[in-house]
Amino acid sequence: MPDTAPLHGQTNPLSVEYFDVLIVGAGISGIGAAYHLSTQCPDKRFVVLENEENFGGTWWTHKYPGIRSDSDLHTFGYRFKPWRGAPIATAEEILRYMGEVIAENDLARHIRYRHHITHASWDSETKLWTLEVLDKTNGLPRRFTCKFLYMCQGYYRQYQGYMPEWPNMAAYQGKLVHSEEWPDDLEYTGKRVLVIGSGASAATIIPAMAAKAAHVVMLQRSPTYFRVGRNAIEIAEELRALGISEDWIHEITRRKILFEQAKFAKLTFTQPEQVKEALLDGIRGIVGQDYDIATHFTPKYRPWRQRMAFVPNGDLFHGIAQGKASVVTDEIERFSEKGVITKSGQELEADIIVAATGFNLNVLGDIAFEIDGKPLDFHETVTYRGMMFTGIPNMAWVFGYFRASWTLRADLVGDFVCKLLKHMDAKGKAQVEVALREEDRDMPILPWIDPENFNPGYLMRGMHLLPQRGDKPEWMHNQDYWAEKDEFPQIDLNDAAFVYK
């Protein structure tokens, strides 16, 4: 389909490639989406456009020492591809697993690397999306059109972490790095390191750096919950010893993990104190009875209000017990030439300061969206189950779970999208969008997520960029895998919430 319309000021004719479905991103969601399309909708022509030179998303772009998952790979892995290793996996192992999925399902031919999508516009007349893309292999603009846009772009800006502004930062003479922007050549052998933050990234970086650094200090404003345990799943080990097939082991282990997680999540609501004590006991068992757990590892909030990092084999706490790492719970007042000065007046000197201070939210891949010539304000939309959005035709979005593995939802959304595409074909319709129904008219419209339920900083900072929700299960992303695994397959595509044209 040749097109002579100018693109980004360029006047040469552009060739346009058409696909039935265009997947944005080749992270774990995008590769999963490609698998689901190729197996459930084999007649659809699709392409995956990826900005990086490789698949993997998060697991490709993160380079800090020790980078690993904090969920188990039986559930963070796809439901269709058994995970054979230890449950907590390194980025390298996850990339290898994804590479196998690509090779085993002949997906490589669908992926275009180094393709950065900058604009997406929907035209109701042609019922097509047009995407404007920079081909980074040659610096030339390209144009793609598609019927359906499958957004697997993740939720944070790659290579750009959230760096709070502290007074006097410029005075610091050492090296300041952000965990999201790790320099390839950072040498830390024998150096004094200060890590700011106590989330999953800090919990990974600290034991990894402590192995070579002179000493690592974790500076946290307030404590976080951690779960400590062996990096192994007993039932998987037992089944493996019995010679059970890997397919079965994967399925049974997934069910067992999900069953235990559901029980755990319920307990955090019904018996938060008991859960809290059990979590603290895990830490106490390593750092010893005399360690000041009350100050450094006892959060003020109920367990599960923020994502809880799993610390495999308690490595972070063994580092503390052995004196290779230590914790300071205090706030930064200002930076000094040698490090930071805390509000209590302590100067923490460091050769390297690592800010493990989180992400910047990135909704819709930083792509400028237009619907029929009008710029899209994503915040004005209301979400249908965290997958589709009022006023945005022919688009689905993968946003995973916080309290369960992301990929569980990527698989559920994959089934939904394939079912929806087949339903559209059966109806002979080229356009679908979701719309509030008559009975939804008086429904309160609320922020994307209830901060009482879950409130990590990157979401709180970005709430004004995210879509809104209603107060009914179909008009929210309810973060409940255990409900959605049964509800999603039952979604009635003839419900009035779906409008076909």
Ligand X SMILES: Cc1cc2nc3c(=O)[nH]c(=O)nc-3n(C[C@H](O)[C@H](O)[C@H](O)COP(=O)(O)OP(=O)(O)OC[C@H]3O[C@@H](n4cnc5c(N)ncnc54)[C@H](O)[C@@H]3O)c2cc1C
* Burial state string for 330-368 with b = 16 or more CB within 10 A and e = fewer than 16: bebbebeebbbbbeeeeebebbbbbbbbbbebbbbbebe
Find the shortest distance in angstroms from Cβ 319 to ligand X.
Answer: 19
Residue from 161, 199, 339, 365 in contact with ligand X (CB under 6 A): 365
Instruction: Tell me if 478 contacts ligand X by CB under 6 A.
Output: no
Per the CB < 8 A criterion, the answer to whether 68 and 311 are in contact is no
Which residue type, as a one-letter code, is found at position 17?
E
Q: How many other CB atoms sit within 10 Å of the CB of residue 278? A: 14
In the complex with ligand X, which residue's Cβ is closer, 223 or 365?
Answer: 365
Instruction: Tell me if 198 contacts ligand X by CB under 6 A.
Output: no
* Calculated CA dihedral for residues 33, 38, 40, 46, nearest 10 degrees: 70
Residue from 14, 23, 41, 71 in contact with ligand X (CB under 6 A): 71
Cα–Cα distances (Å) from 191 to 187, 236, 342, 485, in that order, read: 8, 40, 21, 48
Instruction: Tell me if 199 contacts ligand X by CB under 6 A.
Output: no
Instruction: Tell me if 28 contacts ligand X by CB under 6 A.
Output: yes
* Calculated CA dihedral for residues 372, 378, 381, 382, nearest 10 degrees: 140
d(CA 258, CA 127): 40
Say if residue 385 is exposed, middle or buried (CB neighbours under 10 Å; 0-12, 13-18, 19+). Answer: buried
Instruction: Tell me if 398 contacts ligand X by CB under 6 A.
Output: yes
Q: What part of residues 271-290 is at the interface with ligand X (CB under 6 A)? A: none
Residue from 97, 406, 481, 498 in contact with ligand X (CB under 6 A): 406
Which residue type, as a one-letter code, is found at position 139?
G
In the complex with ligand X, which residue's Cβ is closer, 76 or 172?
Answer: 76
Q: What part of residues 145-164 is at the interface with ligand X (CB under 6 A)? A: 152-154, 158
Per the CB < 8 A criterion, the answer to whether 433 and 403 are in contact is no
Which among 1-9, 15-23, 269-277, 360-368 is the span making contact with ligand X, rule CB under 6 A?
A: 360-368
d(CA 48, CA 23): 5
Which among 54-62, 188-196, 277-285, 340-348 is the span making contact with ligand X, rule CB under 6 A?
A: 54-62
Per the CB < 8 A criterion, the answer to whether 346 and 187 are in contact is no
Number of residues binding to ligand X, judged by CB under 6 A: 32
In the complex with ligand X, which residue's Cβ is closer, 201 or 306?
Answer: 201
Q: What part of residues 82-141 is at the interface with ligand X (CB under 6 A)? A: 116-117
Which among 27-35, 241-249, 257-265, 324-332 is the span making contact with ligand X, rule CB under 6 A?
A: 27-35
Instruction: Tell me if 65 contacts ligand X by CB under 6 A.
Output: no
- Report the interface residues with ligand X, using CB under 6 A: 24-30, 49-52, 57-58, 62, 69-71, 76, 116-117, 152-154, 158, 201, 365-367, 398, 400, 405-406
